[in-house]
């Protein structure tokens, strides 16, 4: 069972790379973020023709999340409980059935939060609080669960090319990192950190200032695994080559393989 997450930065702009990705890597489940379109504009036919079931929560212009699955989608929820999302489509969750088992998967697009001295940062922290509450509830189900997506948080200094340059950024502020740790401390494993301590493993490179060419990246796309999922973890792969493709997203996909 291979689960991937990818911030596509507009699913319509990224349709060709998306279909190529599905064909070449054949994920069992793919979580997408930043669709940047309403459901009616989502390329449903193309994705279904590629062999995927799809559920999504779209929104005009901004945000938007989806779950694509080769396997049946049994149940789903849109939005976090007890959270006023202010019209922003950032959370969708589904149960995927496969080989007689089940896997719960969430596709998450956490707020950026910049500039940090504005209500945008308050919203980021409020979202993380609501996500943490819900993640705690999900743990009580004692299921294999994967909380995947763009968390917009750099967990540790080893996850950013130049920690000092990001010190006052909403993605790397102590309160942001603390919110991420709080989520892990519930009992979730950061899939990448379960398999390696290596520094410099990034999932995002800015379009600007030659960030990709200079490898000035950050790690902000994460797969969080419940204990039942973490016990099945066999490997993690960041698909770095996607960033060098034609019309790339500024994010690349990351896979977790579960046995």
Partner DNA sequence: ATGCCAATTAAGAATTGA
By beta-carbon proximity to DNA, the closer residue of 23 and 247 is 247
Stretch that binds DNA, among 46-54, 68-76, 179-187, 204-212 (CB under 7 A): 204-212
Size of the site for DNA (CB under 7 A): 28
Question: How far apart are CB 205 and DNA at their closest, in Å?
Answer: 9
SS3 assignment for 56-71: EECCCCCCCEEEEECC
Residue from 83, 112, 158, 232 that binds DNA (CB under 7 A)? Answer: 112
Residue from 27, 30, 31, 36 that binds DNA (CB under 7 A)? Answer: 36
By beta-carbon proximity to DNA, the closer residue of 13 and 76 is 13
By beta-carbon proximity to DNA, the closer residue of 72 and 115 is 115
Q: Is 214 in the site for DNA (CB under 7 A)?
A: no
Q: Is 206 in the site for DNA (CB under 7 A)?
A: yes
Q: Is 91 in the site for DNA (CB under 7 A)?
A: no
Alpha helix segments (H runs only) across the chain: 15-25, 44-49, 119-139, 174-185, 191-195, 227-230
Residue from 69, 89, 145, 152 that binds DNA (CB under 7 A)? Answer: 152
Q: Is 4 helix (H, G, I), strand (E, B) or coil?
A: strand
Name the residue with tokens 């967990």: 155
Residue from 5, 7, 69, 132 that binds DNA (CB under 7 A)? Answer: 7
Residue from 4, 5, 9, 130 that binds DNA (CB under 7 A)? Answer: 9
Name the residue with tokens 């989502």: 42
Q: Is 190 in the site for DNA (CB under 7 A)?
A: no
> How many angstroms separate the CA atoms of 71 and 68, rounded?
9
Q: What is the DSSP string of 42-53?
A: S-HHHHHHTT-E
Tokens of 112: 């950026």
β-strands 204-205, 217-218 pairing = antiparallel
By beta-carbon proximity to DNA, the closer residue of 2 and 166 is 166
Q: Is 143 in the site for DNA (CB under 7 A)?
A: no
Backbone phi and psi for residue 67, each to the nearest 5 degrees, phi listed first = -125, 125
**Running DSSP on this structure, what letter comes out for residue 239?**
-
Question: In the range 10-29, which residues lie near DNA by CB under 7 A?
Answer: 10, 12-13
- Encode burial over 187-204: b for 16+ CB neighbours within 10 A, e otherwise: ebbbbbbebeeeeebbbb
Binding site for DNA (CB under 7 A): 7, 9-10, 12-13, 34, 36-37, 60-62, 111-112, 114-115, 120, 150, 152, 171, 204, 206-209, 218, 220, 247, 250
């Amino acid at each position: 069972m291979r689960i991937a997450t990818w911030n596509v930065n507009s699913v319509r702009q990224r349709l060709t790379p998306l279909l190529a990705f599905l064909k070449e890597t054949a994920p069992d489940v793919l979580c997408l973020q930043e669709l940047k379109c309403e459901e009616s504009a989502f390329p449903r036919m193309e994705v279904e023709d590629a062999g995927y079931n799809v559920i999504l929560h779209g929104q005009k212009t901004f945000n938007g999340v989806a779950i694509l699955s080769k396997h049946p989608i049994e149940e789903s929820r849109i939005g976090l409980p007890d959270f006023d999302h202010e019209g922003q489509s950032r959370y969708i969750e589904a149960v995927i059935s496969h080989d007689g088992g089940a896997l719960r998967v969430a596709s998450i697009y956490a707020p950026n939060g910049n500039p940090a001295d504005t209500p945008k940062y308050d919203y980021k922290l409020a979202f993380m609080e609501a996500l943490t509450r819900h993640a705690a509830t999900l743990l009580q189900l004692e299921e294999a669960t994967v909380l995947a997506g763009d968390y917009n948080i750099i967990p540790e200094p080893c996850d950013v090319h130049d920690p000092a340059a990001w010190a006052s950024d909403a993605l790397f502020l102590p309160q942001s990192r603390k919110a991420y740790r709080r989520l892990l401390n519930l009992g979730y494993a950061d899939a990448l950190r379960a398999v390696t301590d290596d520094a410099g493993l990034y999932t995002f490179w800015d379009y600007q200032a030659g960030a990709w060419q200079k490898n000035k990246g950050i790690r902000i796309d994460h797969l969080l695994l419940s204990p039942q999922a973490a016990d099945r973890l066999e490997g993690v792969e960041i698909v770095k080559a996607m960033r060098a493709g034609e019309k790339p997203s500024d994010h690349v996909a990351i896979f977790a393989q579960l046995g």
